[in-house]
Amino acid sequence: MTITGSPTITPSASTTSLASTRTSHELTVVPGTRTTRDDLRAVPTVLKSEWIKLSTVRANKAILGLTVAINGFAAWAVATSVKDEVPTVSKVFVFPALLTAVLAAVAGILLFTTEAQHGTLATSLTAQPSRWIVAASKMAVTVGVGLVLGTAGMASAAAGALVGGLEIGDTSAAAPTALYALLFISLSALIGLGIGMTARHSAAAISGLLVWWFVGENLIRAFAPATVSRFLPFDAGYRLLGVGSDFDTPEILAVALPRPSLAVVFAVYAAVGITMGTVLLYRRDTN
Amino acid sequence: MITVAGITKQYGKRTAVDDLTFDVTAGRVTGFVGPNGAGKSTTMRMMVGLTRPDQGEVRYDGIAYTDLRHPARVVGSVLDARCMHPGRTARHHLRATAAVSGLATNRADAVLAEVGLETAANQRAGGFSLGMRQRLALAGALLGEPEVLLLDEPSNGLDPDGIRWLRNYLSGFADQGGTVFVSSHLISELAMFVDDLVVVGAGKLLAAESLEAITARSEVSVTAVTPHADELAAQLAAHGLASAIVGDRLNIPGTTTTTVSQIAFDHGIRLVELIETSKSLEDSLLDMTRASAEFASA
């Protein structure tokens, strides 16, 4: 067989028929070697595969349902229980976004770890030996999942607050708050993906994430100076919501970063997580 | 043709595959055998780019797997039949596999029919028997109508009808010019349809030749039953053939019934029974790999 500079293709009879009438398995295609163009052409098909995988597993639908339910209920609960001040929908709709971010991070972890644990990652990597395509597609889908969860969650929270009897209120800050919330949730999902790509084990990744998020960071915040703790990843992410915390001391508030800076801090952590995960995807053997 | 050239893989201090070199020829079925821990699965993973060899390379008609433009259209592989999400239906599993391979997703129904799973298309893989999972995994390998099939223990869990179907399918695939490389522990099953054998032990190549050549080397012996055992033994010895006498039975290794019957006829010795036996392929391969078996039964 001769490999030419301009590969030619000899179509076999079976390529136009669903029911294979192929009469020969001999090499009829001069394959040539893979190019960057081939890799780029593969991205839409791999994205399609990721969508099929995402939409055909009940667990993902359950996470979406849980997000809607938690956000709606939490906002309704705030609307019906808070009496010392009068909240509005434009403020309450983002209160449960922290829970949505946790669910998004878990979803990001599961997007990778379920594949690794069920062996379908190997199928993807044999189909696409250029592993960056698989990594990039997973990142794109993960961001999409974050955006969907964030949007559905905030919409549900707004609805819950309305049902709870709250007024809409001043919406001038709602749009930027919503965008920052979406950023927080999507980057949380990406961080989850990076953790999943590193750990390759669902339970280890999820428990590690939650322990760091709700125990590790609180401990560091309690003992480290505010100038250091303001760079903690999920602390920075949470402050994107513009919601105050009971743990905010005057010292913390004095050195608090503005939202754009918080976004950069959180994004850097997401980038580090994804980069580490992608490097390990290349370096590690896959069973 | 697949060219495996000097591939080596180490995990810490353990050498899983040690300088393995062999060719897999198109139009033939090549069996890949060896004891547990011999490096078969590691070798097959290196052949599809899942595991990087520390040294050496694997090429498909001169092209490395990672450089193939459409890997799924050249190589269809089944390395683990459990590689599927239990919550996903067979059809969705194949549609996702087709999509990631750059193939039309409507190929899913065609390959399901090809492996006899069309009625289970909407069933979740978690409810499949092992045999059904094997068939589904094979369907995934066939999506791209590849020229090469790489299968690791494909008959595990298949019922006799399924094993026969698989055997016929792979033989037919090779007859049409395809390349088949299949590993199995069922040596007697492999012997029914492979043309060549690659035998490994402790990561090293022990043999890579045709089934015919390996079988020909298997020791053949003849058992002769005659009322003139001593006389026959003497005549066989005169022709350079040693024999062991037990009553009226002689066991003569390394010869054929034709030779023994001719000697007996030439000297007027009556034979009651004449049987030729040869060491089975399984026994031959077990002898070959015994020294390198990592886990051997007592």
pLDDT of residue A28: 47
Residues B33 and B147 occupy one common structural domain = yes
CB contact under 8 A, A1 and B62: yes
Residues B91 and B199 occupy one common structural domain = yes
Mutation pick from A126, A131, A138 vs chain B, by most beta carbons of B within 10 Å, is: A126
Tell me the residue type at A36.
T
Residues B131 and B211 occupy one common structural domain = yes
Residue B284 counted as domain residue: no
pLDDT of residue B192: 83
Q: Give the H/E segment covering residue B43.
A: helix B40-47
Q: What SS3 class is residue B250? A: strand
B124 φψ region: left (φ > 0), alpha (ψ -120 to 50), beta (else): beta
| Tokens matching residue A91 | 């403020």
* Least CB–CB distance from B85: residue in A19, A29, A118: A118
| Tokens matching residue B130 | 């092992």
B125 neighbors B93 (Cβ within 8 angstroms): yes
Residue B290 counted as domain residue: no
Residues of B within 8 A of A25 (CB-CB) are 145-147, 173, 176-179
Mutation pick from B69, B92, B136, B143 vs chain A, by most beta carbons of A within 10 Å, is: B69
pLDDT of residue A7: 36
pLDDT of residue B269: 95
Q: How far is CA A180 from CA A92, A94, A105, A150, in A?
A: 15, 10, 16, 10
* Higher per-residue confidence, B124 vs A30: B124
* Higher per-residue confidence, B295 vs B115: B115
Q: Residue A126: closest CA among chain B residues belongs to which residue?
A: B48
Residue B196 counted as domain residue: yes
Residues B127 and B165 occupy one common structural domain = yes
Residues B17 and B93 occupy one common structural domain = yes
Residues B168 and B182 occupy one common structural domain = yes
How far apart CA A138 and CA B185 sit, in angstroms, is 37
Residues of B within 8 A of A42 (CB-CB) are 102
pLDDT of residue A69: 96
Residues B166 and B223 occupy one common structural domain = no
Residue numbers of A between 20 and 59 with CB closer than 8 Å to B: 20, 22-27, 29, 31-35, 38, 41-42, 45-46, 48-49, 52-53, 56-59
How far apart CA A181 and CA A191 sit, in angstroms, is 15
Q: Residue B91: closest CA among chain A residues belongs to which residue?
A: A56
Domains identified in chain B, total number: 2
**What is the SS3 assignment for B153-165?**
CCCCCCCHHHHHH
How far apart CA A22 and CA B145 sit, in angstroms, is 8
Residues B144 and B259 occupy one common structural domain = no
Tell me the residue type at A14.
S
State chain B's mean pLDDT as an integer. 90
pTM confidence score: 0.82
pLDDT of residue A231: 93
* Least CB–CB distance from A49: residue in B62, B96, B140: B96
CA distance, residue B210 to nearest chain A CA (Å):
21
CB contact under 8 A, A287 and B80: yes
A122 neighbors B67 (Cβ within 8 angstroms): no
Q: Which of B215, B232, B261 is the last residue of a domain?
A: B215
Q: Are strands B204-210 and B63-64 parallel, antiparallel or unpaired?
A: unpaired
Residues B148 and B265 occupy one common structural domain = no
Residues B187 and B232 occupy one common structural domain = no
Residues B83 and B206 occupy one common structural domain = yes
Kindly indicate whether the ipTM for this predicted assembly is greater than 0.90, answering yes or no: no
pLDDT of residue B213: 82
Q: Render pLDDT for B70-95 as a digit per residue (tens, 0 to 9).
A: 999 999 999 988 889 999 999 999 99
Q: Which of B13, B9, B17, B12 is nearest to B198 (CA)?
A: B17
Q: Render pLDDT for B205-264 as a digit per residue (tens, 0 to 9).
A: 998 998 888 877 666 789 999 999 999 999 999 999 999 998 999 999 888 889 999 999
**Residue range(s) defining the domain that contains residue B254:** 219-278
How far apart CA A269 and CA B153 sit, in angstroms, is 43
Q: What SS3 class is residue B218? A: coil
Residue extents of the structural domains in chain A: 1-33, 42-283
CB contact under 8 A, B69 and A32: yes
Backbone torsions φ then ψ of B59, nearest 5 degrees: -130, 145
Mean pLDDT of B262-281: 88
DSSP line for chain A? ----SS--B---GGGG-SS------S--B---B--HHHHHHHHHHHHHHHHHHHHT-HHHHHHHHHHHHHHHHHHHHHHHH--SS---HHHHTTTTHHHHHHHHHHHHHHHHHHHHHHTHHHHHHHH--SHHHHHHHHHHHHHHHHHHHHHHHHHHHHHHHHHTT------TTHHHHHHHHHHHHHHHHHHHHHHHHHH--HHHHHHHHHHIIIIIHHHHHHHS-HHHHTT-HHHHHHHTTT---TT--HHHHHTPPPHHHHHHHHHHHHHHHHHHHHHHHHHS---
CA distance, residue A142 to nearest chain B CA (Å):
17
The rounded average pLDDT for each run of 10 residues, N- to C-terminus, in chain A (287 residues) is: 33 34 47 85 95 92 94 93 82 92 96 93 93 95 97 96 92 92 96 96 96 94 90 92 74 85 95 96 82
Residue B63 counted as domain residue: yes
CA distance, residue A201 to nearest chain B CA (Å):
15
* Least CB–CB distance from A123: residue in B86, B97, B107: B97
CATH number of the domain within which B14 lies: 3.40.50.300
Q: Residue A7: closest CA among chain B residues belongs to which residue?
A: B69
Please count the other Cβ atoms lying within 10 Å of the Cβ belonging to residue A250: 7
* Least CB–CB distance from A53: residue in B49, B62, B96: B96
pLDDT of residue A18: 32
Residues of B within 8 A of A19 (CB-CB) are 110, 113
Residues B6 and B152 occupy one common structural domain = yes
CB contact under 8 A, A122 and B83: yes
Q: Render pLDDT for B155-184 as a digit per residue (tens, 0 to 9).
A: 887 888 888 888 999 999 999 999 999 998
